[in-house]
Structure 1
Amino acid sequence: MTPEAFRAALALDAPPDLPAPLLALWHDAKGDWETAHRLVNDSPQPDAMWVHAYLHRVEGDLSNARYWYRRAGRAPHEGTLEEERGEILAALLRKDAP
């Protein structure tokens, strides 16, 4: 899936078949933070922890976000939420590409 296809999928009522971290980003972009958080909350995968950190940043819980960035092996993002979502999306889509 390309970033453009992901953005087009946001017009759908139901999400496409995606790995949990990407699915969480889809739900977040649709305004459903709770579902997004639930999808990555208990995952030990670094990509899910990265999305988890981002979601706590969206929530405004920066200390919790820093905890999850550390767990994911990532530095806290310095830019806007939109920039970070785009960077995470691009990185995860590259990994998910066949």
Structure 2
Amino acid sequence: MDDLDLQIFRDSLAKPQPPAGLSHALQALWWDGKGDWDKAHERAQEHEDSAGMRVHAYLHRKEGDQSNAEYWYRRCGTAPSTLTVDKEWEELARALLEQV
């Protein structure tokens, strides 16, 4: 886990399961990266910590539910992102990987 960076995280998307030991928030981003929004949403909801709420906000923004996204941005104390959703995913992944 210590050697997990953004490129290795992206490369792991080719596998059937996320790398062992990821937080729920990183698992959510991983499933989203594979195109499974529902599984990503499940993982984001599993822990209502700031990281989970932040990924939850991103997921609702990505699905086009801006009011729900804004609710989750407020809950985690973050301003709504103005990045593209792809850039927001990358920013979130980098930040969460730094915490591993």
TM-score when normalising by structure 2: 0.92
Superposed displacement of residue 42, structure 1: 4.5
Aligned residue identity for 1:78:
T
Which structure 2 segments of 5+ residues have no match?
none
Tell me the percent identity: 48
Identify which of 8, 21, 29 aligns with 2:11: 8
The list of structure 1 runs, each at least 4 consecutive aligned residues, that deviate by more than 2 angstroms after superposition, is: none
> Would the aligned equivalents of 2:61 and 2:69 in 1 still touch at CA under 8 Å?
yes
Q: Which residue of structure 1 aligns with residue 64 of structure 2?
A: 60
Number of residues of Structure 1 aligned to a counterpart in Structure 2:
96
Q: TM-score, normalised by structure 1?
A: 0.94
Instruction: Provide Cα deviations, 1:17-74, integer angstroms capped at 9, x if missing partner.
Output: 1110000000001010000001112422000000000000111000000000001111
1:14 Cα shift?
Answer: 1.6
The equivalent residue for 1:39 is 43
Structure 1 gap ranges (5+): none
Shift of 1:88: 0.4
> What is the RMSD of the two structures over their aligned residues, measured on CA atoms?
0.8
**CA–CA distance in structure 2, aligned partners of residues 42 and 16 of structure 1:** 18
Give the equivalent residue in structure 2 for 1:85. Answer: 89
The answer to whether the Cα contact below 8 Å between 2:24 and 2:46 also exists between their aligned partners in 1 is no
2:81 paired with 1:74:
no
Q: Distance in 2 between matches of 1:42 and 1:3?
A: 23
